Structure 1
Amino acid sequence: MLLEALSSEQLRGRADPGVTLWNLDLLHKDVESKPQENTSFELITSDSISDKASALEVSASLKASFLSGLVSVGGSATYINDKKSSSHHARVTLKYSRTTRFDQLTMNHLGAQNMTYPEVFDQGTATHVVTGILYGAQAFFIFDREVSTSENIQDIQGSLQVMIKKIPTVSIEGEGKLKLTDTEKESVTKFNCTFHGDFALDRNPVTYEDALNTYANLPNLLGPNEEKAVPVKVWLHPLSNLDNRAAKLVREISNNLISKAENILQQVTDVNMQCNDLMRHPAAEIFPDIKRKISHFREYCEQFTLVIQKQLAQTLPSIRGGEMEELTLGNILAGKDRSPFAKLHVDGYLSRKRQEMDTVHSYLQVLANVKVLPSEDELNKVVNDPMVDFIVCYNFTSLNEGETYLSDLTKWLLILEKLDNEDYQPNTVTPWFKNIDVMRKARERVRAYHEFTQVNTLREDTHYTVSCTPDPKNPGVSIYLYEVGVLVCDSFLPPGKPSPPVTVSLSHDMVKLSLKPSDFGEEFVVGYSIEYRKQEEETWKTQRTENEDQEVNLTGLQANKTYQVRYSSVCKAGLSAASDITVVKILPASPPETITCTSEPTCLHLLWKEPKVVGEGATITEYKVEYKEKEHDNPTFLETKTGNKTETWDIEGLKPKTSYAIRVQAVCGDLGTSAPSDEIEAITAETQKQEVTNSKGNLP
């Protein structure tokens, strides 16, 4: 058999498969054949091109031809094309190797006078003749096991190795029953097996048990006389040593360049695996726009592989034949590092996509109870539902916007030949998930949105969704508010949890509250929902306001009772989270009523009626009488107490003909006082007694 070492191809298509230097009888007459029996097995834990080529005992030169696509593989050699599809797979390969005999030509063949067809040298294609063949067979059993996120891939890899080492030595108890523990049996059910070999099998093994049975039967598959063995290794002799007319291999490709080419294609293999993993990411499974971008990126990388292989296939034979210098190949490989497919740029893109998906997924986990509508079409179906008044949508606005890097890859593939000497300069655009301001906004909104949905989960007229409508005005995320099928706000902020209510004033049946809504979403507040209950009760009562006034009177309360009060901000789509509770103690009694006064020059004689309302558990023990001169605008009242429950009191030591402001409070011991009565104005007499109008402005 003649070979062309320039491309490492057997002469096919350019010459008849039977092209040879000798006639068939002479060829077989002096072939030396001797047994070379050997059986071995090996565990392979790496899935790299380099280690697979090593397992197949492929020379550097042949590996270069394989990398460039100049040679195709079959039988056990198809193992080199079997690649892991995910980094979440543990993989261990069992290699079985069997040799049977070695055949070689003798000097009787290689003498120039013994060649039957010397005209073959004139064809100028073949460079070598096969002078020795080692026969046998090889098989590769690839065991894969998917690794869950809760498992350690190294531990699973170790478990695989332990179980696969058993295959060549495992004991089988009658009728093929395996000696495996229950734990081992459970473990091997998770293994998947793929077979690549030089053996003709009725059925390829797919399970661990299948692999055991197949492995045990491999020697029998070579035939009773091992006549089904195939060439596993050949020795070549240059034809130029036999005749100067023969084509010649001028130089081999240097190992350094072969390693560089291998690294490039290995990188593409790794990228394909990473893309597969990213496309199975929860965020990519939910939002097709993310998966679409990764799919396009993977396609571009595959096109790049074809471009590189085409360039290698055009270059390698010319270098080997002396028509081209190695520098040409070096420039091709160096050009890759100047392109957007350079490892730095590719790894950077994959890292960014992973970070984007992790960011999206973390937000989806926060909003786990919210329905996701992955496309604008699905969102529109809900928006147009006539039974829904409001839709509040947490919207990822940048997932499907164009990416300059993907555009650059496309351009580079289209005008590749014009860019050989140009370095790729990426555009420095900060993605939304790395923009500090955008992410701060996204965090605020996802927390507010989550809180808002939790509070309003029972509202039947409002739906909550997550979607990905593009919106360049609001990069990253935005909350959309739809009302009766119309988008009324593309930057809605659900009102946040307000500050606790502050007591402004109290009476026996009312409290005036000051409300302070959160700054977040304040512009969307249209009113407030105030909840209150007695401290010992569980059920809340509600009072609603229909305006944005931040001072509210809470009425209808009971004297001498302690209440818990909280409130929520109200917007069109629902309520904010309730504020923290403020505890309010209602005054024990209503104010004294109908105050009358008789005046003397230095004394005022007061008379009043006891409060109409005295709270449960409260008792009036005395009254507090407060007074001050009105003329001096003095804000401070002087006070005196009656000392017991009496509805009359004399204020003595006053100035004649002086105007006084007077009010009275009921004192209920340790429970506190009532609110002050309405003020009356009384003027001390000049010389005689004088009656003063009561607090209602009427004579008694």
Structure 2
Amino acid sequence: EAVEVYLSLPKLLGANGENAVPVKVWLLPLTCLDSTAAKLVRQISIGLVQECQSVLEDFSDLEMRFNDALRTQTAQQFPQIGKKLKTFKQKCSQFKKVFQQTLAEKLPSIRGGGEEEAVLAEELRKTCSSPFNSKDLNEWMDCKEREISILKSYTMMKNTQIVPRKMILKKFSKQSRLCVLSSPRWEVMNRTSQLYQTTFNKHPNQTMPKIHTLQINEANKENKNITFLTVGLTNETQKGASIYLYTDGFSVNEDFEPPSKPATVTGSDINHNSVTLKISPPRFGAEDITSYSVEYWVSGEDGWKQKTASKAEEVTVSDLSAGPANEDGSFDLKCLKMRAKSMENIFVNFNKTTTKSLTKEVLRERKQPEISIENLQKQVKVGLAKLSPNTEYMFRCRAETPVGAGPANEVSGSIKTLPCSPPGKLHVESTSREISVSWEKPAELGQDVHVLSYIVEYAKQDQHVKEEDLHWEQMMAGAEKAIISGLQPETEYAVRVRIPQK
């Protein structure tokens, strides 16, 4: 019935509206009568809504990271870390509240048609371009967490005490050696909202070499004269972590860099009781090296034995047996102190002419070309003596500094000394066409080593030809005597005897 009345209303007005009567009507929104009534509002684009939600969620995630960092033991041990985190957290909370207040004002206005969506888009643009944008905040927090992680590694080092304040350092001022590691320094940059930013990620190479070479702590854990401390300090002249070195209560170096392990260590000039190690300087911390220490491990025994050079460029080689030339023409040194860079070997040749009236013995020295010894920036050679024949050794080398020893680098694989020492002193007699040579047995023999034969070598002397380039003839001898025949009269010959090596 109501529908029928509704359909008949237009007809009742007449064909031309002649039956219509003017009526004045006032419209009133339903919300004025009932606040729960539906009302017409403008919808905000879903993209802007998601951006607003993302900004707030990022602040919430960041707040959780702040809280986790503040609860770490490292933040408790280093008050500076906790103070910076709390200050930064407070500033982020203030910015978040301002942003929420802006949303509370703008969103109803936009929905009611009072303002356009462009106003909200502009507020989001300002937030993303401000120092408090999500990318910069998370980068800052990443750096803080990295700093905490590095400091945590310091606290885990053995023999290292944590000092919360610089003043407590006075307690340790009487230590003979004091190595103080300061935490990374963080820059404060005054930007739009006083955002704290770090230079740590801008200068990683200034701190990482020092961080990676802190194995010096482990290498010197048995040294009672050295104390390692970690303290948070501020030094305007240094960026990142620094190592302070104190001696007898006085600061001697505020940017000490511990050496890394030597770049390379290789063995050469292997004899029956000595080995020469060629050492390349460490990649980091070479400036403070005072010497190198070499340790060797005898196969079948326990423990490392050590030999330390008194100076970086000087090595004492002693207690080596003397004798004729070795296979390569070198002569073992006996009780000889020398610079490792000035002379490598002494060469000895017994020169004979095939006449009865002329007999002479010549001692020749060949010096290595001089190498600059300003410091240990170049390769160094260190000789090791008092080794046993026919024995396997493991070698490792480390740099020594005023603080102590650095990490070690081992020679790849074991090195075995020669089975025995060279033959003893030569006795030579000559005729017009023959040279009679006799010699003593080797003074030192390795365990289970027996000499079954010798190699006698001889060559014509030529002043214009280097000794190693002479044409050497060989003959075998089963005992400590040999006769070299078929020689040319009035000719000078060089003779040497060696033991064949397997």
* TM-score greater than 0.5 by the shorter chain: yes
Kindly indicate whether residue 82 of structure 2 is the aligned counterpart of residue 277 of structure 1: no
1:659 and 2:486 correspond = no
User: Would you say 1:439 and 2:204 are equivalent positions?
Assistant: yes
C-alpha displacement at 1:656, in angstroms?
1.4
Structure label with greater radius of gyration: 1
* Residue among 175, 184, 198 paired with 1:388: 175
Q: How does 1:211-250 map to 2 (within 5 A)?
A: none
Distance across 2 between alignment mates of 1:639 and 1:566: 40
C-alpha displacement of 1:578: 2.0
1:353 to 123, 140, 145: 140
Residue-by-residue CA offset, 1:434-489 (whole Å, 9 max, x unaligned): 33xx324433332221x222222222222334444334444333333333333333
Q: What residue in structure 1 maps to residue 474 of structure 2?
A: 640
Q: What is the letter of the counterpart of residue 301 of structure 2?
A: E
SS of the residue aligned with 1:513? strand
Is 2:237 the counterpart of 1:404?
no
Matched, 1:590 2:421: yes
Show the 5 A alignment for 1:280-359. Answer: 280-281=68-69, 282=72, 284-304=75-95, 326-327=114-115, 336-337=123-124, 339=126, 345-359=132-146
Out of 597-606 and 439-448, give the one that drifted further: 439-448
Matches of 1:624 and 1:329, distance apart in 2: 101
- Supply the AA of the counterpart residue of 1:460: K
Q: C-alpha distance in 2, partners of 1:566/1:303? A: 58
- Tell me the CA shift for residue 559 of structure 1: 2.3
Determine the structure 2 residue equivalent to 1:600.
Answer: 431
Residue 576 (structure 1) shift: 1.9
Looking at structure 2, the residues matched to 309 and 500 of structure 1 have their Cα atoms a distance apart, in angstroms, of: 61
Q: How many angstroms apart in 2 are the aligned matches of 1:269 and 1:585? A: 67
Matched, 1:559 2:389: yes
Matching residue of 2:321: none
Structure 1 pair 656–350 and aligned structure 2 pair: CA distance change class (3 A): same
User: Which string of whole-angstrom CA distances, capped at 9 and with x for unpartnered residues, describes residues 536-572 of structure 1?
Assistant: 2122221111211232222222222222222221111
8 Å Cα contact 1:387-1:461 kept in structure 2: no
Question: For residue 459 of structure 1, what is the aligned residue in structure 2?
Answer: 223
Q: Answer yes or no: is 1:493 the counterpart of 2:257.
A: yes
| Percent identity of paired positions between Structure 1 and Structure 2 | 22
The one-letter code matched in structure 2 to 1:656 is P
Contact 2:397 2:408 in 1 (8 A): yes
Moved more, 600-609 or 385-394: 385-394
When the two chains are superposed, the root-mean-square deviation of aligned CA atoms in Å is 4.3
Secondary structure at 2:221's aligned position in 1?
A: coil
Q: Residue 311 of structure 1: CA displacement?
A: 8.1
Query: Are 1:267 and 1:343, in contact at CA under 8 Å, matched by a contact in 2?
Result: no
The amino acid of 1:402's aligned partner reads: V
Partner of 2:247: 483
Q: Structure 1 length as normaliser, TM-score?
A: 0.48
Contact kept, 8 Å, 2:454 with 2:478, in 1: the verdict is yes
State how many pairs are aligned: 398
With over 3 angstroms needed to count, the CA separation of the structure-2 counterparts of 1:461 and 1:235, relative to structure 1, is: same
Q: Deviations over 1:188-210 (max 9, x none)?
A: xxxxxxxxxxxxxxxxxxxxxxx
Tell me, which stretches of 5 or more residues in structure 2 are unaligned?
A: 1-29, 314-379
Deviations 1:608-647 (A, max 9, x none): 22222223211121222222222343423524334312x2
Partners of 1:592 and 1:603 in 2: how far apart?
21
SS in structure 2 of the partner of residue 628 of structure 1: strand
Per the TM alignment, residue 340 of structure 1 is displaced from its structure 2 partner at its CA by 5.8
1:579 maps onto 2:409 in alignment: yes
1:697 aligns with: none
* Distance in 2 (alpha carbons) for counterparts of 1:515 and 1:495: 14
- 8 Å Cα contact 1:605-1:648 kept in structure 2: yes
Structure 1 residues 529, 306: CA separation in 2 closer, same or farther (over 3 Å shift)? closer
- Distance in 2 (CA, whole Å) between partners of 1:301 and 1:638 is 85
Helix, strand or coil at the partner of 2:384: strand
How far does residue 313 in structure 1 lie from its aligned partner after superposition? 9.8
- Aligned-pair distance for 1:498? 1.9
> Could you give the per-residue CA deviations for residues 353-389 of structure 1, whole angstroms, max 9, x where no partner exists?
22112322443454452357475x2x44246514533
More displaced 10-residue stretch of structure 1: 573-582 or 538-547 = 573-582
The residue number in structure 2 matching 1:231 is none
Between the aligned partners of 2:405 and 2:88, the Cα distance in structure 1 is: 44
Residue 363 of structure 2: aligned partner = none
**1:266/1:637 Cα in 2 relative to 1: closer, same or farther (>3 Å)?**
closer
What residue in structure 1 maps to residue 306 of structure 2? 542
Cα gap change, 1:254 to 1:464, in 2 (>3 Å) = farther
Aligned 8 A contact 1:527 1:547 in 2: yes
Amino acid at match of 2:199: W
Q: Map of 1:5-16 to 2, 5 A cutoff?
A: none
| 8 Å Cα contact 2:188-2:197 kept in structure 1 | no
Aligned CA distance change for structure 1 residues 594 and 460 (closer, same or farther; 3 Å): closer
Q: Structure 2-normalised TM-score?
A: 0.65
Q: 1:610 and 1:262, CA in 2 relative to 1: closer, same or farther beyond 3 A?
A: closer
Q: Does 1:569 align with 2:333?
A: no
Task: Compare relative contact order (CA 8 Å, sep 6+) and give the higher one, 1 or 2.
Answer: 2
Give 3-state SS (helix, strand or coil) of 1:409's partner: coil
Q: Does 1:509 align with 2:276?
A: no
- Residues 457 and 473 in structure 2, CA contact (< 8 A), matched pair in contact too: yes
Corresponding residue of 1:627: 458
